[in-house]
Structure 1
C-alpha cells in the first residue's frame, strides 16, 4: 500500500520545493505541479508533489493522521 501525505511548501528553487510534512522538512519535486507556490499544501508521494491541495482538506487530513496516531502530538 502506498500513502501520500500533505506537506506545506516553504521555499522553491527551480522545480524542487522544501516543504514541511508534519514537522519534518522534506524535499519535493514539483515537476507534476508546476503552478505550486510557497504556502501551498501539496500531496507528497515518494518525493513527488502529485497534487496541490485545498488548505482545509490538507489540514483535515493531517488532523485525521494525528487522531490515528500516525503523527506525533507535538507536530
Structure 2
C-alpha cells in the first residue's frame, strides 16, 4: 500500500511543477496528468516523482490535517504505551 500526501503546487514549469508538502519542496513530473495544473492546486505524487491526480483544495486540506494529527500522535510516546 502506498500513502500519498497532497502536495500544493507553488510553480508550474514546462511539463513539471514545484510542489510543497509539510515544508518540503519537490520537482515533480506532470506527464501522467491529462488536465491543466495551476499554482495553488493540490496533487498526489507517486514515489517516482510523477503527479497522478489533482485534488480539490478542501479534500486536500482535510487529508493534510488528518495526516498532521496522526504524525503528532506518533511523536507522543504515551500513544505507544511507553512510560513518560
SS of the residue aligned with 1:31? coil
What is the aligned-residue RMSD (CA, Å)?
1.3
Alpha-carbon distance in structure 2 between the residues aligned to 1:44 and 1:54: 15
Greater helix content: 2
Runs of 4+ in structure 1 off by over 2 angstroms are: none
Alpha-carbon distance in structure 2 between the residues aligned to 1:45 and 1:63: 20
Aligned length: 70
Match for residue 63 of structure 2? 61
How does the TM-score come out when normalised to structure 1?
A: 0.84
Give the drift of 1:8.
0.5
Match for residue 51 of structure 1? 53
Higher relative contact order (CA 8 A, sep 6+): 1
Greater strand content: 1
Gaps of 5+ in 1: 71-75
8 Å contact from structure 1 (residues 8, 21) kept in 2: yes
